[in-house]
């Protein structure tokens, strides 16, 4: 007899299956939540006799898996580069396959059976993400008992997984405070574990220039050091430039040599993370002006700033030397950073100096720009065209969206002018969402609690479906004016970045804050293992 789909018994079974699957997902506690999980009978036993069998093209990925199993679980296991072998018992198989359905080549299939684990994807990136998921299936509790005959039971499952968005990012401001190489690598490790793939590195601002430029050594000799930092947040928000405000007297300094930048980029690339450097121009440039005051409208002098908010002194766009300077700096950036996208800031640029500057006024006349406001589009388009000649594309903060902005510019939305952002998208252009109200981690949990970050959806509810693909994804930002230490950095960032990772990766209909909270509780031992000083439940 055929069972009709609307018969009560069938519906009962279907409901039961859904319930069971929800329980499976809670039990497997994976973050970000995969697209599909189905549970099977039994467990795979991972031990020192387990062998990794790998495609030749996945040798480095296999080495990464080996390193994880050794460093986290104390298991020293062997890699064999041979998929032809008949060996099918107690093996982890890493395999490249053709699979076009997987978005952006980052998806993977993970099958855990009693005999073997199989991770298949169309790219090493996909296999790497499959490994990150498998890692979460291994119970952490036994960790540390290295003298025992170690065995880990991994539940049998079939997981199909791929990301919702291609841009899943985190921005760190190292101008306001400098954290250094060790902290950056630690962040990259956590990002990779959460399947985040864009690290936006805010390396320059009024309060410090943070990387070596061989042609302009004063950028680091002078621009990377400041005397201290304003103390009270409130004062910082209210103070005018003319007021003399007390500072804490604790010097802030530091920068990356080009050798260190290359080392960090290499570290990120191994983890399938693209680093997007930001050089914020033509505003937020006091550290440049302190080093090379002739690039300003007034001639200075300037000091690397100890206070925050918008600074009225910006690059003198009317001075042709600034283009020579910036092109030389960008040449060095392009030589170091492989990213096809370079962030050139563009936020919070006051025009008062340009109004009074003969050079800027002359440029407005000769270029027929009409108003001082058009100087910034002129400037940004000129920089964009230069970078385009090097095969790179700019991303800018949404402050400078207007009709004149070069059409290839990618926009990063943070605040205001949301209709302009929607217009930009409806003209077929692209946006990354960093909405301040939900994704700015420098705001305390009292203002942006975890659920607010988690429930943010990057696709605006009033955006027509045909433009959804133009929203590339989302990026959380940590501005560090009042983040002097790794401990505070950790506290502001975690667990909110975990929520962002789930929004960036998991399908919208798979997301649920209650489920996330339960899985987060199970995820905490991982944060402990990474030594993250995360915010506790009563704090977020
Ligand atoms: Zn000027």
In order, the DSSP letters of 234-285 are: HHHHH--TTS---B----EE--B-HHHHHHHHHHHHHTT-EEEEE---SSS-
Q: How far is the CA of 176 from the centre of ligand 1 (A)?
A: 26
Q: How far is the CA of 308 from the centre of ligand 1 (A)?
A: 22
| Pairing of the two strands 151-161 and 36-47 | antiparallel
Q: How far is the CA of 480 from the centre of ligand 1 (A)?
A: 30
Q: How far is the CA of 341 from the centre of ligand 1 (A)?
A: 28
Q: How far is the CA of 375 from the centre of ligand 1 (A)?
A: 10
Sign of CA dihedral 66, 67, 70, 72: negative
What is the per-residue pLDDT for 232? 64
| Segment (H or E) for 342 | strand 341-343
Q: How far is the CA of 384 from the centre of ligand 1 (A)?
A: 20
Distance of CA 290 to the CA centre of its chain: 30
Q: CB-based burial of residue 74 (10 Å sphere; 0-12 exposed, 13-18 middle, 19+ buried)?
A: middle
Q: How far is the CA of 298 from the centre of ligand 1 (A)?
A: 7
What is the per-residue pLDDT for 235? 54
Beta bridge partners of 105: none
Q: How far is the CA of 355 from the centre of ligand 1 (A)?
A: 8
Residue 121 has pLDDT above 60, yes or no: yes
Q: How far is the CA of 330 from the centre of ligand 1 (A)?
A: 21
What is the per-residue pLDDT for 242? 60
- Mean per-residue pLDDT, 153-167: 95
Could you report the per-residue pLDDT of 49-73, keeping only the tens digit for each?
999 999 899 999 999 999 999 999 9
* Model confidence band, residue 246 (pLDDT cutoffs 50, 70, 90): confident
CA dihedral of residues 34, 38, 42, 47 (deg, nearest 10):
-20
* Model confidence band, residue 140 (pLDDT cutoffs 50, 70, 90): confident
What is the per-residue pLDDT for 14? 44
- Mean per-residue pLDDT, 317-344: 98
Q: How far is the CA of 295 from the centre of ligand 1 (A)?
A: 8
What is the per-residue pLDDT for 5? 38
Residue 225 has pLDDT above 60, yes or no: yes
Q: How far is the CA of 323 from the centre of ligand 1 (A)?
A: 13
Q: How far is the CA of 309 from the centre of ligand 1 (A)?
A: 21
Residue 116 has pLDDT above 60, yes or no: yes
What is the per-residue pLDDT for 487? 98
* Model confidence band, residue 237 (pLDDT cutoffs 50, 70, 90): low
Q: How far is the CA of 219 from the centre of ligand 1 (A)?
A: 20
C-beta separation of 314 from 341 below 8 A: no
* Model confidence band, residue 23 (pLDDT cutoffs 50, 70, 90): low
Residue 30 has pLDDT above 50, yes or no: yes
Phi/psi zone of residue 216: left (φ > 0), alpha (ψ -120 to 50 degrees), beta? Answer: beta
Q: What is the model's pTM?
A: 0.93
Residue 276 has pLDDT above 90, yes or no: yes
d(CA 261, CA 314): 27
């Amino acid at each position: 007899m055929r069972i009709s789909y609307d018969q009560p018994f069938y519906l009962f079974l279907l409901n039961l299956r859904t319930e069971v699957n929800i329980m499976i997902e809670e039990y497997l506690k994976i973050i970000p939540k995969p697209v599909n999980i189905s549970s099977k009978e039994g467990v795979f036993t991972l031990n020192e006799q387990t062998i990794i069998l790998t495609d030749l093209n996945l040798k480095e990925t296999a080495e990464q898996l080996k390193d994880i199993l050794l460093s986290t679980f104390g298991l020293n296991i062997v890699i064999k580069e041979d998929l032809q072998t008949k060996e099918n018992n107690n093996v982890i198989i890493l395999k490249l396959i053709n699979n076009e359905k997987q978005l952006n080549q980052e998806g993977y299939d993970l099958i855990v059976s009693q005999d073997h684990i199989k991770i298949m994807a169309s790219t090493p990136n996909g296999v790497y993400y499959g490994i990150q998921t498998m890692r979460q299936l291994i119970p952490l509790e036994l960790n540390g008992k290295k003298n025992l005959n170690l065995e880990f039971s991994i539940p049998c499952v079939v997981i199909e997984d791929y990301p919702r968005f291609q841009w899943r990012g985190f921005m760190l401001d190292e101008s306001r405070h400098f954290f250094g190489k060790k902290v950056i690598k630690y962040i990259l490790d956590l990002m990779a574990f959460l399947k985040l793939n864009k690290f936006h590195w805010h390396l320059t601002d009024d309060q410090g220039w943070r990387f070596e430029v061989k042609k302009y050594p004063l950028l680091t000799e002078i621009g990377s050091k400041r005397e201290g930092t304003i103390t009270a947040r409130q004062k910082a928000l209210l103070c005018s430039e003319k007021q003399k405000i007390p500072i804490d007297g604790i010097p802030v300094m530091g920068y990356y040599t080009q050798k260190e930048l290359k080392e960090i980029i290499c570290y990120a690339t191994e983890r399938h993370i693209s680093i997007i450097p930001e050089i914020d121009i033509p505003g937020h440039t006091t550290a440049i002006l302190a080093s090379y005051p002739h690039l300003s409208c007034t001639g200075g002098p300037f000091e690397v700033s100890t206070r925050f908010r918008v600074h009225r002194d910006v690059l003198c766009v009317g001075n042709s030397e600034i283009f020579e300077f910036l092109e030389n700096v960008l040449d060095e950036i392009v030589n170091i950073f492989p990213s096809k996208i370079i962030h050139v800031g563009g936020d919070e640029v006051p025009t008062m100096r340009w109004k009074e500057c003969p050079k800027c006024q002359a440029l407005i006349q000769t270029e027929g720009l009409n108003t001082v406001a058009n100087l910034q589009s002129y400037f940004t388009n000129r920089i964009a065209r230069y970078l385009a000649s090097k095969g790179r594309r700019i991303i800018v903060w949404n402050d400078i969206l207007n009709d004149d902005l070069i059409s290839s510019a990618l926009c990063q939305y943070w605040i205001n002018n949301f209709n302009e952002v929607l217009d930009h998208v409806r003209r077929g252009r692209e946006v990354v969402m960093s909405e301040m109200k939900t994704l700015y981690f420098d705001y305390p949990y009292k203002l942006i609690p975890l659920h607010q970050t988690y429930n943010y959806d990057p696709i605006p509810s009033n955006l027509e479906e045909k433009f959804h693909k133009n929203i590339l994804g989302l990026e959380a930002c940590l501005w560090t004016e009042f983040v002097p230490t790794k401990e505070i950095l950790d506290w502001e960032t975690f667990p909110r970045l975990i929520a962002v990772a789930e929004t960036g990766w998991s399908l919208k209909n798979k997301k649920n804050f209650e489920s996330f909270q339960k899985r987060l509780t199970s995820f905490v031992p991982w944060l402990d293992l990474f030594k993250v000083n995360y915010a506790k439940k009563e704090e977020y």
